[in-house]
Amino acid sequence: MDIADFFDTFFEEAEELLADMEQHLLELDVDDPDSEQLNAIFRAAHSIKGGAGTFGFNVLQKTTHILENLLDSARKGELVLRADLVDTFLEAKDIMHQQLDAYRNEEEPDQDAFERICHTLQQIALEEIGEALEAPPAAPKPEPAPVPAAPASSGLLSVALLNVSDKDRELLVEELAQLGEIQQQGGDEKRFEVLLEASVGADDIEAVMCFIIEPEQIAIT
């Protein structure tokens, strides 16, 4: 099974995460920001960055990486929010959406927009928190086509989802069902185990799962 088979799932999930990010940014009170909203915005960016990296969408990954760092500083109280900063974050979200659409259509994202928003976000980091974020390359190389994983013999894997919310768990179980045949499942939010008969390896499963949850929330044996 080729990891590229899961591109559509990533595109759909990233669309939802961008929509959530926009909603939270629009509702955010810059004078008294809600910590839960800031955490939700950060988590959305973090998930998109992880998925983009997994699937080789480098421009989207690098744009989101810089935005994620700023959002992390905001939720830690290191970056004092203002209306103009939130407007810039919304602009970054729009460009990320354009990049996502480009990858969906098997096109290269707009290089000028990529460089411009990254420069803007880097300037904010320098001026507001005195931190120089890593600059993206001037012209990122086109991503090579994904190489199909070598087929593995079919076997049973125990996939444990640790401290995963009900919503994310349902989505992950659906993804696992596409990777193989679920023989058994059960547990609770703290630890939910799925016995999966699959012809893909643990690394492939983890790569797909990690654009939704963190690596430490998965245990595969």
- pLDDT, tens digit, for every residue of 14-50? 999 999 999 999 999 999 999 999 999 999 999 898 8
Residues 74 and 122 in one domain: yes
Distances (CA, A) of 117 to 92, 109, 110, 127, 132: 6, 13, 11, 15, 15
58 and 164 fall within a common domain: no
Domain contains 135: no
Q: Is residue 144 part of a domain?
A: no
Tell which of 129, 163, 188 closes a domain.
129
Q: Is residue 56 part of a domain?
A: yes
Amino acid at 1: M
Q: Is 149 among the domain residues?
A: no
Q: Compute φ and ψ for 184, nearest 5 degrees.
A: -160, 150
Is residue 124 located within the same domain as residue 195? no
Position 50 in a domain: yes
Domain count, the chain: 2
Q: Are residues 17 and 120 in the same domain?
A: yes
145 domain-assigned: no
In terms of domains, do 8 and 90 share one? yes
Instruction: Using the Cα atoms of residue 158, residue 161, residue 167 and residue 168 in order, give the sign of their dihedral.
Output: negative
Domain boundary among 89, 113, 129: 129
Residues facing residue 192 across a β-bridge: 161, 187
Residues of the chain with pLDDT under 70: 1-5, 132-154, 199-200, 204, 207-208, 210-212
pLDDT of residue 144: 45
Same domain, 34 and 104: yes
Per-residue model confidence (pLDDT) at position 139: 38
Contact present, 154 and 197 (Cβ < 8 Å): yes
Q: What is the CATH number of the domain that holds 208?
A: 3.30.70.400
Same domain, 166 and 121: no
Per-residue pLDDT, 207: 63
Last residue of a domain, one of 92, 111, 129: 129
Model confidence pTM above 0.85: no
CATH number at residue 124: 1.20.120.160
Q: Give me the domain span that covers residue 39.
A: 3-129
188 in the same domain as 121? no
User: Do 164 and 200 belong to one domain?
Assistant: yes
Are 30 and 100 members of one domain? yes
Are 34 and 101 contained in the same domain?
yes
Q: Is residue 102 part of a domain?
A: yes
Alpha-carbon gap, residue 131 to 126, rounded angstroms: 5
- Cα–Cα distance, 23 to 42 (Å, whole number): 13
Q: Are residues 213 and 177 in the same domain?
A: yes
